[in-house]
Amino acid sequence: MKSSLRPLSRLLPKGVIRFDPATLQANSSDAWMASSLPEAVAFPRNTTQVSKILAYANRHRIPVTSRGSGRGYVGGCVPVRGGLVLSLVKMNRILEISPQDGIAVVEPGVITAKLASAATRRNLFYPPDPASLKESSIGGNIATNAGGPRCLKYGVTRHYVLGLEVVLQDGTIVRLGGRTHKNRTGFDLVGLFTGSEGMLGIITQATLRLIPLPPARSALLAEFSSISKAAAGVQKILGSGLLPSALEIADPFTLAAARRVIPNAPRANSLLIVEFDGQPASVKAELSLASKLLRPSTSHLKVATGEQACEKLWEIRRGFSYALRDTGLVKLNEDVTVPRGRILDLFCLTSRLQKKYRIPISSFGHAGDGNIHVNLMAPVGTRHDDPKMHRILNDLFRGVLAMGGAISGEHGIGLAKRPWWPDATSSALREIHRKIKKALDPKNLLNPGKYLD
């Protein structure tokens, strides 16, 4: 394989194709547990180079695994079939921000938080906010259709993708959609490529929708003596006609881990974070109504008014994943989703699993969407193919599917959830996926070895 990749490096500027062991190692894994070395890593600087690389890979039947920041949670960018890792990190320019058209044009390697800040400076708003936003790339966010706390009010990444430039498996460059906010020309191919986990084409440019920056934001942190009181709070808020920009929940294990490393982490059993944004007067009124609704059941209510105070509060929430990692245990992060009315049932299920398998489980996340991060906290040294973990996940996913839920709300299927892909889909649905994959990647060279194989 190496011999068939060496000539490729001679077709491209020096440094684009790298074979050194440190680079191969650094591009062999993501934030999940699997790892596999590629034969080489490509760092293209532009779309033409991506096209050249794919045309070459097509001719020589070389597997190509695309990679953004490598912060995925399902092993999506792990090159399980070797070949070439196509890293988009060097294509990281914000090409345009147009307040007139309400759009940004970006290369895929732009870090999400960088785009969000650049938009804010122009009084514009890019809402998708995965907790990894300081590390993950726009290309990775689009390829996984990433979500975040603000999905409740603003929707997921897909709702902000107006246009894409994609390089297909044989090197053909195609542009989908564009800078208009509506476009009904043909099938929704922008939607098809969004969330396609690098298996249908390489995203080399994106035109993203920006909306006016809400002038005010305020948040509540409500502490509760039990998770059932916190879950009841979710229904109270949404049942009252309020639509917060975020509505997050956290359980006792998560908060105990947070207290070890995050200054100001609450000393509570469970919590809700409820944020509102919009015009100052409406934010004030909505916050006041939410406080009134929660006050009878909460043990403590903290209000954060304005950008800085809210961000300080979100530092606690965004620190949860990192705090769990710092426990030293192995965190198996699942992102299951249940219909919103079943959140308490989901917490009851995880509580039963903790007892049955004698394993700590941390659960927190986007209560307003019914999308909860259920983290199995496994002993040090646990591998992703551990039979006990597999049994626990079997019980978890079956329980979630029985509630009418989904095995992934944000991270995708990738490698991590591949064993449960058949449980979560009908044979007709799997057949449609296979046919689409075959039409766009007949030689199965784009990100092979993942859930469609």
Contact map string, positions 96 to 135, toward ligand FAD, x by CB under 6 A: ------------x---------------------xxx---
C-beta of 136 vs 327, nearer to ligand FAD: 136
Interface with ligand FAD, residue 139, by CB under 6 A:
yes
What torsion do the CA atoms of 48, 53, 54, 57 make, to the nearest 10 degrees? Answer: 160
d(C-alpha 13, C-alpha 41), whole Å: 14
- Count Cα neighbours of 33 within 13 Å in the Cβ-side half-sphere: 18
Q: In the bound complex, what is the minimum distance in angstroms from residue 418's beta carbon to ligand FAD? A: 12
Interface with ligand FAD, residue 210, by CB under 6 A:
no
d(C-alpha 133, C-alpha 238), whole Å: 26
Output the six-digit token pair for 97.
Answer: 């921000």
Interface with ligand FAD, residue 245, by CB under 6 A:
no
Beta-strand pair 64-67/84-87: parallel
Q: Which stretch binds ligand FAD (CB under 6 A): 9-17, 65-73, 344-352, 381-389?
A: 65-73
Q: Which of 5, 12, 16, 31 binds ligand FAD (CB under 6 A)?
A: 31
Number of shown-chain residues binding ligand FAD (CB under 6 A): 36
Q: In the bound complex, what is the minimum distance in angstroms from residue 248's beta carbon to ligand FAD? A: 10
Interface with ligand FAD, residue 76, by CB under 6 A:
yes
Q: In the bound complex, what is the minimum distance in angstroms from residue 215's beta carbon to ligand FAD? A: 25
Q: Are 134 and 113 in contact (CB under 8 A)?
A: yes
CA angle (146 as vertex; 351, 347 as ends), nearest 5:
10
Q: Which of 38, 44, 63, 70 binds ligand FAD (CB under 6 A)?
A: 70
Interface with ligand FAD, residue 363, by CB under 6 A:
no
Q: Are 80 and 151 in contact (CB under 8 A)?
A: no
C-beta of 168 vs 293, nearer to ligand FAD: 168
C-beta of 32 vs 224, nearer to ligand FAD: 32
φ/ψ bin of 270: left (φ > 0), alpha (ψ from -120 to 50), beta (otherwise): beta
Q: In the bound complex, what is the minimum distance in angstroms from residue 441's beta carbon to ligand FAD? A: 12
Cα separations (Å) of 236 from 266, 295, 378, 396? Answer: 22, 11, 34, 27
Q: In the bound complex, what is the minimum distance in angstroms from residue 84's beta carbon to ligand FAD? A: 12
C-beta of 266 vs 365, nearer to ligand FAD: 365
Helices 227-239, 343-357: crossing angle, 10 deg rounding: 160
The arrangement of strands across the sheet holding 173-177 comes to 94-98, 103-106, 202-209, 161-167, 173-177
Q: Are 275 and 245 in contact (CB under 8 A)?
A: yes
For residue 277, list its beta bridge partners.
217
Q: Are 264 and 316 in contact (CB under 8 A)?
A: yes
C-beta of 109 vs 298, nearer to ligand FAD: 109
Interface with ligand FAD, residue 347, by CB under 6 A:
no
What DSSP assignment string belongs to 168-199? Answer: -TTS-EEEEE-SSS---SSS-HHHHHTT-TTS
Contacts (CB under 6 A) with ligand FAD, residues 259-318: none
C-beta of 93 vs 398, nearer to ligand FAD: 93
C-beta of 87 vs 382, nearer to ligand FAD: 87
Output the six-digit token pair for 245.
Answer: 């920009």
Q: Which of 44, 63, 147, 177 binds ligand FAD (CB under 6 A)?
A: 147
C-beta of 66 vs 269, nearer to ligand FAD: 66
Q: Which of 27, 28, 141, 375 binds ligand FAD (CB under 6 A)?
A: 141
Interface with ligand FAD, residue 321, by CB under 6 A:
yes
- Comparing C-alpha atoms, which of 370, 350, 310, 373 is closest to residue 131? 373
Question: Which residues contact ligand FAD (rule: CB under 6 A)?
Answer: 30-31, 65-73, 76-77, 88, 108, 130-132, 136-137, 139-141, 143-144, 146-148, 197-198, 202-203, 321, 410-411, 447
